[in-house]
Amino acid sequence: MDHQYFSTHGEHLADRAAAWERINRNYFGDLGVDALDDGPVDAELSAFNVGPLRMLRISAPPHRVHRERICSELPMDALYKLVLQLKGHAEIRQGERSFHLHPGDWSLYDPRVPYSVTNFERLDLLVVQVPRELLRGFKVPSLHTCEATASSVVGLYAVLSSFLRSLSEQLPGLPNGVGQPLSETVIGLLASTLAAYQGEASEHTTLPSVLRARVKQYVHAHLAESDLSIERIALAMRCSKRYLHRVFEDENCSLDRYIWQTRLERCHADLSAPGRKMISEVAFAWGFNSSAHFCRMFKSHFGEAPREFQRRVAAGTAALPLAH
């Protein structure tokens, strides 16, 4: 997966602390960064765009980052910040709350509000920047953490942690076309933790945002099955087809169109991969049951027939798809 990489290793020893502070400000806004020991600030950051999410893998020596005032004028302030501790021990403070992070622990918070994170030892982190509109409809607590008091949500919180840990390890080797489904899985899991926190996770009182995320997860899990339909999804979600349509009114496309577009994107990713594959084989593998229908939809969505696209891939001239 394409990404940007930054490191302080190319800087003179005396300049590394300032370089690391610049990197932090570039990605996280108006932050103070203080070293906690006298050693060299050997730090690195890799930034990946995963659908609408930005994921950052960070390795750094002990240090403290802090925001002292409410701030909302920068683009990065239109984001929630989800932090997964991969290595080391840290403490996050915001308002009256504090939470200690050990490997496998995560926390979600609003970075516009003053906070501090103290990393007591060398650390590895995964930071996920989540656009605020993706969690519209949820009341995000001032510091939402994996600390669970109810046994019913311990497993759910652990699933989010395990998925993010695995994703952080695999990010560099993933193909570019999988960002959207991965981001939807992350948002679905995160939304479920918020719904559980709010006590609104029952099937009959599910928030539209949660149901929409669950539906998308279901679609991705069953995308290859040609009998995937709105009726089948409604049965699985225990709601009416009419309610499903209503839940997707805030999206840019209907649920039915979402299913077909997602199938087309998976087919596009497969046809982009090395090794020439039969077009019909790819189409049938992702739930299409007619090659002619697939070719028409592919051309309508991407602006060229799948065979033309395959030829450009083989010639090394294929660019990112332009959906129509």
**pLDDT at 286 (0 to 100):** 95
Select the more confidently predicted residue: 31 or 209: 31
* Segments forming the whole domain that contains residue 100: 3-147
- Final residue of a domain: which of 131, 147, 163? 147
Reported as a single tens digit per residue, the pLDDT across 73-85 is 555 557 999 999 9
> What is the CA angle 300-305-306, rounded to 5?
115
Distance CA 215, CA 231 (A): 12
* Domain presence at residue 226: no
Reported as a single tens digit per residue, the pLDDT across 10-33 is 999 999 999 999 999 999 988 899
The two beta strands, 143-145 and 53-60, are unpaired
Residues 242-268: b if buried by 16+ CB within 10 A, e if exposed: eebeebbeeeeeebeebbbbbbbbbbb
Angle between helices 255-272 and 306-315 (to 10 degrees): 30
* Domain presence at residue 190: no
Helix/strand/coil (H/E/C) assignment for every residue in 75-130: HHHHEEEEEEEEECCEEEEECCEEEEECCCCEEEECCCCCEEEEECCCEEEEEEEE
- Final residue of a domain: which of 147, 173, 198? 147
The two beta strands, 123-131 and 79-87, are antiparallel
* Domain presence at residue 192: no
54 pLDDT tier (thresholds 50, 70, 90): very high
Helix/strand/coil (H/E/C) assignment for every residue in 5-64: EEECCCCCHHHHHHHHHHHHHHHHCCCEEEECCCCCCCCEEEEEEECCEEEEEEEECCEE
Average pLDDT over the chain, rounded to an integer: 86
* Domain presence at residue 251: no
Reported as a single tens digit per residue, the pLDDT across 146-167 is 886 666 678 888 999 999 999 9
Select the more confidently predicted residue: 68 or 205: 68
323 pLDDT tier (thresholds 50, 70, 90): very low
Whether the predicted model's global pTM rises above the 0.85 cut: no
> For the chain, what is the domain count?
2
- Final residue of a domain: which of 112, 147, 182? 147
Average pLDDT for 295-302: 95
